[in-house]
Structure 1
Amino acid sequence: MDPRDGTGGTGGGRSADGRDRDGEGRARNARPRDGLGRPLPYGADGVERQPEGVVRTPGDTVVEAQALLDAGKPFHAHEVFEDAWKSGPEGERALWRGLAQLAVGLTHAARGNPAGGARLLRRGAAAVAEWAEGSGEDRPHGVDLAGLARWARELAETVERTGAAVDAEAVAPRLR
């Protein structure tokens, strides 16, 4: 059982004060979520959540994040990138943080938040471009940073211009 899904587990679930807690007693939202990471009412059917704190190889991170992006789940892809950001080598943290920002920007654009989506897409584009310039690597772990930055800037323009929510699956970027 997963303490984040409200089913209990080792000390997880709802506490006496009504707050969701994980097995270590930390506040952790246990509500189910939809494919874009939005909380649903307790008891609703949601999508399986990404486990947190998973240490993957960079290649596995890219493959898993791409599968989630292709499935229209950028929020979940962001969590995969966030794991790499938190567990990876210090010199790559800005790269993974930038990729996570791109996924969150797509999440906001898909949720119908064009201002937030455009802002985060541009921030992520700038971060991956800056990382590439600083490291001298345009394709770390096979990831096409120049292509991703271009994709993000174009999508930011589109969501600002139209103000409409995007179909995350239809506009998913190609990481490699």
Structure 2
Amino acid sequence: MDETHRDRDTEGRARNARPRDGLGRPLPYGAPGVERQPEGVVRTPEETVREAQRLLDAGMPFHAHEVFEDAWKSGPAAERELWRGLAQLAVGLTHAARGNATGGARLLRRGAAALAEFAGLRPYGIGVDDLTIWAQELAGRVAAGQTTAGGTVDAAAEAPCLRPPAP
């Protein structure tokens, strides 16, 4: 493809049309990739949590991040930190799965910090306290190099449970 060419959407905004793998990395044009999440979808909180959990369980945290990002951008202001924090956790897991220990640990911690105002609460059944513990523990392991020989984590095996059983 011509290097000066930029993929554009119907409004003329730059949009990369290259296929992506399960961790959101661009693949060569024409290569098989995973189906991308459509952008700008307005979902109910229930739909958001259900779709994000499905993607996390499938080892696709980058795609789960896009679902959370839609909720963050379209939801009420009082919930933006919740969805933003969850998006950061998903991106942190993405970076850790790609082998970026510094970025992974940083974003996992940043996401946990964003969820702080929801500590002790279970908005939409989301176990914020459990997620914060998960993120801090994973960030510590990633930062300490306690990962696979290739420096990555298995995104599906490390996927958090967004809605653990109520205590």
What's the TM-score once normalised by structure 1's chain length?
Answer: 0.87
Residue segments in structure 1 that go unaligned for 5+ positions in a row:
1-13
Matches within 5 A, 1:1-176: 17-129=4-116, 131-133=117-119, 138-162=121-145, 164-176=151-163
Alpha-carbon displacement from aligned partner over 1:109-138 (angstroms, at most 9, x marks no partner): 000000000000000001112x215xxx61
Question: How many pairs are equivalent?
Answer: 159
Residue segments in structure 2 that go unaligned for 5+ positions in a row:
none
Alpha-carbon displacement from aligned partner over 1:30-79 (angstroms, at most 9, x marks no partner): 11000000000111101000001110000110000000000000000000
Alpha-carbon displacement from aligned partner over 1:71-113 (angstroms, at most 9, x marks no partner): 0000000000000000000110111000000000000000000
| Aligned structure 1 segments of 4 or more residues deviating by more than 2 angstroms | none
Which has the higher relative contact order, 1 or 2, with Cα contacts under 8 A spaced 6 or more apart? Answer: 2
What's the TM-score once normalised by structure 2's chain length?
Answer: 0.91
For the residue of structure 1 that corresponds to 2:161, the secondary structure is coil
| Percentage identity across paired residues of the two chains | 73
Distance 2:6 2:47 in 1: 34
